[in-house]
Amino acid sequence: MKDLRYKMLVTDMDYTLLNKDKQVSEGNKEALKRAIEKGVHVVVATGRIYTSALYYAKLLGITTPIIASNGAIIREEDTDRTLYQSLLPREAMKEMVRLSKEIGVFCHLFSRDTIYAEQLVNVSLNYTKWNKYLNEEDRVKIKILDSFDNMTEEEQNGIFKAVVIESDEDKLRRLREEILKTGLVSVSQSLKDNLEVMNKDVSKGNAVKQLAEILGIAREEIITIGDNENDISMIEYAGLGVAVGNAEQCLKDKADFVACDYQEDAVAQVVERFILG
């Protein structure tokens, strides 16, 4: 491994590693397998809840830690260790719930393995549908509450992220502006119609930095690959920041290299060019 120029590859999942059917193509899977065999740490860094990220990591045969909830948790499942976590402050969580109701949008709260909501809509509904195709141990838990006020103290103290899906851009903009006024949170978007709220200073870039320090890997030895705003921090941190061809322009502007479209096995292209080549 000492002869490798890049010792860690970190890839976003949706619209980067996963294809339009939310599967890992054989091309991407084979390339990552070869990178792992060469000694490279392959890591997924996603806005998804940890349980969902773990499912795909297992498909890839990845045993290095997983970055989930936009960097709010780094966990190593095979050793049952959480290497880093940053929980959403209860005050920020309650304000997010209050503002969502005031603005007229639906808020979801993510713990490590459970999504909490007051209605089964968008995020919770999508995960409920996804669960039907999974074994029980791979399913994301969904808990629908009469009110977020009924969450137990333990549940309230274990929230990593709040998520709102809304097509009305004005509502999302207002929510973003108001929650940032608390000074308690970081805010990001992985799609135009979603807003993701974490503890202050949480980001994929910070999580990559934390993990690299744990593994003893220098930032110039890291490749990161992504497609959207929530990937900018890790693109800027890495020695080689890559935007897939379908990435938002804000990410392409920060990237060192622009790969092909995610549907054309962009991750495999990066592995073959910069690790196996």
CATH code of the domain in which 225 resides: 3.40.50.1000
| Residue 118 and residue 214 share a domain | no
pLDDT of residue 1: 59
Percent of the chain with pLDDT over 90: 92
Residues 49-74 have pLDDT tens digits of 999 999 988 888 888 799 999 999 99
Which among 67, 88, 98 is positioned nearest to 207, based on CA atoms? 67
pLDDT band at 189; cut points 50, 70, 90: confident
48 and 101, same structural domain? no
What phi and psi values does residue 32 have, to the nearest 5 degrees? -70, -35
User: Cα 132 to chain center, whole Å?
Assistant: 22
Rounded to the nearest 10 degrees, how much is the dihedral formed by the CA atoms of 268, 274, 276, 277?
Answer: 110
Q: Are residues 29 and 109 in the same domain?
A: no
Give the alpha-carbon dihedral of 227, 62, 159, 70, to 10 degrees.
Answer: -20
d(CA 159, CA 145): 15
Measured CA to CA, the distance from residue 232 to residue 169 in angstroms comes to 21
Same domain membership, residue 270 and residue 209: yes
Average pLDDT over residues 160-168: 97
3-state class (DSSP) for residue 139: coil
**Higher per-residue pLDDT: 166 or 62:** 166
Report which residue type is found at 122: N
pLDDT at 273: 98
Q: Do 81 and 105 share a structural domain?
A: no
Average pLDDT over residues 204-219: 97
Query: What CATH code is carried by the domain that includes residue 183?
Result: 3.30.1240.10
User: Are 254 and 185 found together in one domain?
Assistant: no
Domain final position from 199, 214, 248: 199
Does residue 19 form part of some domain? yes
Residue 2 domain-assigned (yes or no): no
73 and 207 share a domain? yes
Number of helical H runs and strand E runs in the chain: 10, 14
Please indicate, yes or no, if residue 1 is contained in any of the structural domains: no
Residue range(s) defining the domain that contains residue 75: 8-85+203-276
CA 193 – CA 106 distance, rounded (Å): 12
69: in domain? yes
Among 174, 199, 224, the domain boundary falls at: 199
**184 and 99 together in one domain:** yes
Where is the domain boundary, 199, 233, 251? Answer: 199
Helix (H, G, I), strand (E, B) or coil at 254: coil
Domain annotation covers residue 61:
yes
Q: Are residues 95 and 194 in the same domain?
A: yes
Average pLDDT, stretch 190-216? 95
> Does residue 112 sit in the same domain as residue 195?
yes
The total domain count for the chain is 2
Structure tokens, 267: 């991750």
Structure tokens at 141: 């838990």
The 10s digit of each residue's pLDDT in 113-138 is 999 999 999 999 999 999 999 999 99
Q: Which residues does residue 45 pair with via DSSP β-bridges, in sequence order?
A: 67
pLDDT at 202 over 80: yes
Question: What does the DSSP 8-state code read for residue 122?
Answer: H
Tell me if the pTM is above 0.85. Answer: yes
* Section 25-37 average pLDDT: 95
Q: Please provide the distance, in angstroms rounded to a whole number, between the alpha carbons at the two ends of the chain.
A: 15
- In this prediction, residue 61 carries a pLDDT of 81
| Residues forming a β-bridge with 242 | 225, 257
The rounded distance, in Å, linking the Cα atoms of 225 and 216 is 20
Same structural domain, 31 and 131: no
The residues, any chain, with a CB within 8 Å of residue 125's CB and separated by 6 or more, are none
- Residue 2 predicted with pLDDT over 80: no
What pLDDT sits at residue 58? 87
pLDDT score of 62: 81
Computed over every residue of the chain, the mean pLDDT equals 95
In a domain, 3, yes or no: no
